Structure 1
Amino acid sequence: MSDDGVRGSRGLLADWLTPKAEALESRGLTRRLRPRPSSEVLIDLASNDYLGLARDPRVVEAAMAAVQEWGTSATASRLVTGTTALHAELESSLASYVGQDSGLVFSSGYLANLGVVTALGGPGTLLVSDEHVHASLVDACRLSRSRVEVVPHNDVEAVGKALAERKEPHAVILIESVYSVLGDAAPLAELSAIALEHGAVLMVDEAHGLGVTGNGHGSVHAAGLAGLDHVVVTMTLSKSLAGQGGAVLGPAVLREHLVNRARPFIFDTGLNPAACGAALAALHILAEQEPTRPDAIHTTAARLAAVCNVTPSAGAVVSVPMPGPREAVHAASLCLDNGVRVGSFRPPSVPDGISRLRLTAHAGLSSDDLDRACEVITAAIKEVS
């Protein structure tokens, strides 16, 4: 407002928000939505469609069949009319595939993390969070009413120290099995042992593990931790399973607790039928029809890491550091101009503050497309370096 209290000519929100937008622009951190057409022909190394199933006719047909049978909406929250036989089948199938006792589906992976952390949190629970966890877990910590200890990335000793010194009767360790920006893996066996020693729960976000690591079953399964009563798994259905939604998997007693205490579950409309049908079809393909499909992800990721001269990824994400945010954006733009879409991650999306290109390996990429992508990406990196 001006000195006489009259609102500026641009309007209240414009006066308020324009300086914030200008500050982002000056640092090269402005983000913009860029709608893509359905007919776009590009080599995709930016999406999270790891198994290449988002356009698979079997998955599309299953989504359509679910809509024809159940309609376009779950119609209400899960505790009213929003729980269908399709939800129950998806939860049972997911739990069986990853080796957990039970599962509960949410309408997004973000809400699954919010739901379980806030339902387990409170004044009597310490949350020990790896500094690189996803924003959904960061927000869950903030909403939990718990005391939160953020520990250095993959630092098992720091986790143990935080647990040993706590005064709270309960504790939860929050990690990702494969981290979404750097693509590195968590030391699951060590963290599980530390959790058990100190009477804590280990909560593992498998968003980037399901369908990728452990022959598709995820990192928790591969580490021999599936089904342990102190291990909880969350995941999203929007990456390897080509749908939408999220899930929490663990002991049956946890599922019962979430049904009664997880606000993002209780007060949200149930996951829509199309997403359920798509995820079930993708899971069926992965588990029964094409169980070796994850192998192609690792082959592609290894090739991308080699040509970019970076450490091989534990999962599908190949992280390529850039000199700064403007260089990251420019490199991604150069790739796009040459028919290859890659991710461009800048602060605050990167936990270490280093801007980078984020390449995601997909199982459906042809050898010719991979050769072309490698050529384009290396040229872009050379130009901005």
Structure 2
Amino acid sequence: MTRLSLLDELADGLAALERQHLRRRRRVVDSAQGARLQRDGRELINFCGNDYLGLAAHPQLIAAASAGLQTYGVGSGASHLVCGHQAPHEQLEHDFAALLGLPAALGFSTGYAANLGVITALLGRGDAVFADKLNHASLNDGCLLSRASFHRFAHNDLAQLEQLLATSSARRKLIAVDAVYSMDGDLAPLPALLALAEQYDAWLYLDDAHGFGVLGDGRGSLAHWQLASPRIIYMATLGKAVGTAGALVAGEQVLIDWLSNKARTAIYTTAAPAALAAATRTALQIIANEPWRQQRLFQHIQRFRAALAGSRYALLDSPTPIQPIILPTSEQALELAQALEQRGLWVVAIRPPTVPTPRLRITLSAAHGDDDLDQLLHALLELQ
């Protein structure tokens, strides 16, 4: 039998994904991010983005970025440890740590880079990491790359986690979780997780990508749960509720100093533009000073869930802007997404392997008007 060429194998693999309704394609957006987007000459109401507070195209952020460009130029020119660490980078780290009430913070180019950098800087052979099975892929990759013993526990299963911790003889332990799960929208039980970290002498690493800006009056999951501990390592991405890009990690000063010296994804990369840090500083000020954004967002969440409570749709128990509708097959998820798009609503079907069960991942924003939500709810109820 003739062996396929490498390109033929890839083509066959793509064809298999197509047959299984699992092939993914990018869609080009012709406008700024917001509650309404332009695509293919049409305006669509956007219910699939992560711009939870409507800050991605906020005029004050645009003005701050523009002023930063005028002062600092476009490129940073070097890594942070060479000559790329400019004043807005330093100021942003201080602002973020102060907002959280933590001693220090360190910037990363993405949340993915932060998760890889932190976990691999703290763990190695002879150590152990304990991770929720629904963790984001970047956390899993950080765990694998660390070369530590990698243990996964069932979603939010504290009994299984405790059993794994109790039987571990690792010299250093780290519990890694999403504070808000990006595809289910539910919360990790952080007080109980911190108690286990205290009991079994472990770090607790929190990826709060979908909690920061939303929970705890905008200060994220630590404020929501009113938690404080030197064992906590806190990470927030900036491309969601904050409306910019990048990530910040906060914790004890000695931890941040260690990461500055050992986190490869922070050390061996060119610093992000200073103008981006300037825009992010402005976003943090808006989050702190405009609580109506979180209040409006939670009004939308309550209304959405109440309207669909008696419908045929299977909603997960999510108190956050992430409101998944579980569907039996990937084909049905795609069909429902397409039916909504025909009605001017952009909702994305999320399918395996990203999630174990197909779903529509509906996301709500403070930028949505009541009329936007009316259109979504009317269409869903009509299509059920």
Q: TM-score, normalised by structure 2?
A: 0.93
Tell me which amino acid in the other structure corresponds to 2:376: A
1:337 to 332, 336, 342: 342
2:52–2:321: 8 Å Cα contact kept in structure 1? yes
Partner deviation per Cα, 1:87-139 (whole Å, 9 max, x = no partner): 11111111111222111010001101111011111013210000000010011
User: Using the alignment, how far apart are the partners of 1:108 and 1:283 within structure 2?
Assistant: 17
Q: For residues 314 and 194 of structure 1, what CA distance do their matches in structure 2 show?
A: 24
Contact (CA 8 Å) 2:301, 2:364: kept in 1 or not?
yes
Matching of residue 375 in structure 1 with residue 378 in structure 2: yes
Alignment of 1:124-163 (within 5 A): 124-163=126-165
Q: Distance in 1 between matches of 2:251 and 2:378?
A: 44
2:361 aligns with: 358
Could you say what secondary structure the match of 1:75 adopts? Answer: coil
Contact map agreement 1:178 1:314 (CA 8 A) in 2: no
- The answer to whether structure 1 residue 185 and structure 2 residue 187 are counterparts is yes
C-alpha RMSD of matched pairs (Å)? 1.5
Q: Which shifted more, 126-135 or 369-378?
A: 369-378
Deviations 1:252-305 (A, max 9, x none): 1111111111111111111222321221111111112x1231112211122222
Counterpart of 1:19 in structure 2 is 12
Structure 1 residue runs of 4 or more that deviate by more than 6 Å after TM superposition? none
SS in 1 for 2:361: strand
Q: Tell me how far 1:312 sits from its aligned partner.
A: 4.7
Find the counterpart in structure 2 of residue 231 from structure 1: 232
Query: How much does 1:307 deviate?
Result: 3.0
Give the whole-Å Cα distance in 2 for the aligned partners of 1:73 and 1:280. Answer: 18
The alpha-carbon distance between structure 1 residues 70 and 371, as it changes in their structure 2 partners (threshold 3 A), is: same
The equivalences for 1:202-351 within 5 A come to 202-226=204-228, 228-288=229-289, 290-309=290-309, 310-350=315-355
Deviation string for 1:28-78 (max 9, x for gaps)?
A: 100011112116132111100000011111111111111111111111111
Note if 1:108 corresponds to 2:110.
Answer: yes
Equivalent pair of 1:105/1:271 in contact (CA under 8 Å): no
Return the alpha-carbon distance in structure 2 between the equivalents of residues 279 and 328 of structure 1: 35
- Corresponding position of 1:28: 21
Gaps of 5+ in 1: none
- Given candidates 88, 94, 97, the residue that maps to 1:95 is 97
Amino acid at match of 2:28: P
Residue 347 of structure 2 aligns to a residue whose secondary structure is strand
Give the Cα–Cα distance (whole angstroms) in 2 for the partners of residues 328 and 50 of structure 1.
23
Shift of 1:165: 0.7
| Most deviating of 356-365 and 31-40 | 31-40
Aligned in 2, Cα 1:377/1:74: closer, same or farther, shift over 3 Å? farther
C-alpha distance in 2 between matches for 1:232 and 1:207: 13
Decide whether the 8 Å contact of 2:184 with 2:316 is kept in 1: no
Q: Amino acid of the residue matched to residue 338 of structure 2? A: S
Task: Describe how 1:39-58 pairs up with structure 2 within 5 A.
Answer: 40=38, 41-58=43-60
- Hey, what's the Cα distance between the residues in 1 that align with 2:381 and 2:6? 43
Identity %: 37
The residue identity in structure 2 corresponding to 1:153 is: H
SS at match of 1:42: strand
| Partner in structure 1 of residue 78 of structure 2 | 76
For the Cα contact (< 8 Å) 1:297–1:361, is it kept in 2? Answer: yes
Task: Give 1:311 shift.
Answer: 4.2
Give the number of equivalent residue pairs. Answer: 370
CA distance in 2, matches of 1:103, 1:174: 18
Contact between 1:233 and 1:250, CA under 8 Å: does it hold in 2? yes
Distance 2:280 2:300 in 1: 24
**After superposition, what is the alpha-carbon deviation per residue over 1:127-170, rounded to whole angstroms, capped at 9, x for unaligned?**
00000000100111111110010000001111111111111111
Contact 2:88 2:275 in 1 (8 A): no
Amino acid at match of 1:372: Q
1:10-43 Cα deviation digits (max 9, x unpaired):
xx44212011111211211000111121161321
Are 1:302 and 1:313, in contact at CA under 8 Å, matched by a contact in 2?
Answer: no
Q: Partners in 2 of 1:379 and 1:277 — Cα distance?
A: 45
Query: How many angstroms apart in 2 are the aligned matches of 1:344 and 1:274?
Result: 34
Provide TM-score, normalisation by structure 1: 0.93
Distance 1:273 1:378 in 2: 46
Q: Report the alpha carbon displacement of residue 84 of structure 1 after superposing the two structures with TM.
A: 0.8
- Pair 1:223–1:136, CA change in 2 (3 A): same
- Matched residues in 1 for 2:217 and 2:119: separation? 28
Once residues 62 and 345 of structure 2 are traced to their aligned partners in structure 1, the CA distance between those partners, rounded to angstroms, is 25
Inter-partner Cα distance in structure 1 for 2:302 and 2:382: 18
CA distance, structure 2, for counterparts of residue 166 and residue 311 of structure 1:
33
**Structure 2: unaligned runs, 5 residues or longer:** 32-36, 310-314
